[in-house]
Structure 1
């Protein structure tokens, strides 16, 4: 990253339980605050390209890396790092601690893929601190969503799923397809004390990940991020940890939508997203009177057209917040 292309501010926030969460700021210091929530579980901010989805002249953009990810410590790629306090309630508390730390009264929330689940969980817990929501590649991490992405999609990719399930069956942990959840089998493998077992499971998980996003991505492509062993181990470990517990969302997101009735939202989803079918975004929209659903007919779990809609949704929401702020009477 060039010296002229660095965040305006960044740091590590001590959020307790021995965890420090990395955060960074881009854009206008006096702009409308907005928080970006990355995907995964186990993703990271990467080269911070997310900032390009905002008008930086009008927005104070904050990004952070979730517990166990990226520059946050301890890192879940280290088998010795405990996941005992790595769950959705703790991540929501981390987000709120970051808001307080940065002196932000309320902010726009953006969430991508798994990040949309976490964004929804935060908004449901802290609705008074949310100016609006933009979700991209919408998920709620319900049991049915997890079972579809790890089991049901075997009907679409039978050869790849046979390899995926077969690895767990041959691993000697007693898993048999049709008798137990495959995601739980992989969660066990990724907690194995044997580093070779963990490594092999992470590679199979990465292969399945690339497979199930391939339809909307123009075909199968091996993502270069998997070359980073530390990243791959953390991603697979955290994803299976969260998915085997239905996202640690209790009650499920869709059963708590009454908390968001007054919050405006835009949901951007690809029609060709086979791993996260549009039915989830549709159900969320139907239960959220203040939401708008934009279904992109050409994209899958992301894409150029969807990204343009994402930027436009943020620009419209920030403009709306600024208009409301100008129309409010001054505080006494």
Structure 2
């Protein structure tokens, strides 16, 4: 089994001002002369973590990580102002130009797979390749599966805690009920909702319980941005048209890709990865038999490291 590369630190960080009021935190690691790769984090609103640098051989890759609007170390924290999918796509293009990169590889999981796919379909000429995990096509049925009907059947004990902040008369539309609290003026209600929302996701993320994953999702700073920004995006159908990613999958035809998917992913079920693979046959699909959604599970780490290594070899030969 392949493991993460040793921990590294950035050789440079940037405070990258985009559309007001947002300033993005950006860092570069690895080799300045290496293959440019952009790490696209999940959520939306989750932010980057130090271990995200460790998926890439630092001698082969110029590793770029950025916290999306309102997430991680970007400011203002948890802000919903001017925060849309189209805005994030514009930020990625502006960042590419700022860093002087002609083309890059995109590496994204969960919402990071969504944003990477939409970027690649919008700017296919800028994408050397895609490495994606936990495919989320951000369709209404996928959002309903996790926040209203579906995943609760596998986690009834965790679901009760997710229900708790919402009175029974509002539970027919949990997304809207949470959204109203997360954007409301009651700070206690806002933080209570954020913690419950985030922990529901963290508890469902792994096949086996993971203290590290739960600590991340339970952190107040992360929970607030994750819950507020996710709810904001999901009540607006992620600012995408119906089935947009699959409808435009033909634009991916010339882009090499690797899809890594846990068979027991309860947040983003395998069906979406399978449908994407069918629509984008050039992408290799690896189904991990003993994994859920998280990028930290051993089989998923192994597959991602191998995919990153293969991508470097493929690009070296091209």
Matches within 5 A, 1:1-332: 5-47=8-50, 49-76=51-78, 81=79, 83-151=80-148, 152-169=150-167, 175-177=170-172, 181-214=173-206, 216-218=207-209, 223-226=214-217, 228-251=219-242, 252-302=244-294, 303-324=297-318
Per the alignment, do residues 222 and 117 of structure 1 end up closer, same or farther by CA in structure 2, a change over 3 Å counting?
closer
TM-score by length of 2: 0.91
Q: What are the ranges of 5 or more consecutive residues in structure 1 without an aligned counterpart?
A: 325-332
Give the Å deviation of 1:166.
4.5
> Mean Cα displacement is larger for which, 151-160 or 229-238?
151-160
Give the Å deviation of 1:289.
2.2
| Cα deviation code 1:1-49 (max 9, x no counterpart) | xxx94211111111122211111111111111111101111111122x1
Q: What are the ranges of 5 or more consecutive residues in structure 2 without an aligned counterpart?
A: 1-6
Q: Secondary structure at the match of 2:191?
A: helix
| Cα deviation code 1:286-331 (max 9, x no counterpart) | 000211110010111131111111011111112211211xxxxxxx
Provide the rounded CA distance (Å) in 2 between the counterparts of 1:228 and 1:305. Answer: 26
Q: Secondary structure at the match of 1:280?
A: helix
Structure possessing the higher radius of gyration over alpha carbons: 1
Q: Secondary structure at the match of 1:217?
A: coil
Give the Å deviation of 1:128.
0.4
Per the alignment, do residues 96 and 163 of structure 1 end up closer, same or farther by CA in structure 2, a change over 3 Å counting?
same
Provide the rounded CA distance (Å) in 1 between the counterparts of 2:20 and 2:57. Answer: 35
8 A Cα contact 1:32 1:322, kept in partner: no
| Cα deviation code 1:149-173 (max 9, x no counterpart) | 1122122223432442353125xxx
> Mean Cα displacement is larger for which, 216-225 or 202-211?
216-225
Give RMSD over aligned pairs.
1.9
Per the alignment, do residues 157 and 123 of structure 1 end up closer, same or farther by CA in structure 2, a change over 3 Å counting?
same
| Cα deviation code 1:108-157 (max 9, x no counterpart) | 11001111111111111111000010001221111111100112212222
Q: Secondary structure at the match of 1:21?
A: strand
8 A Cα contact 2:203 2:214, kept in partner: no
Give the Å deviation of 1:225.
2.6
Q: Secondary structure at the match of 2:166?
A: helix
> Aligned pair count?
308
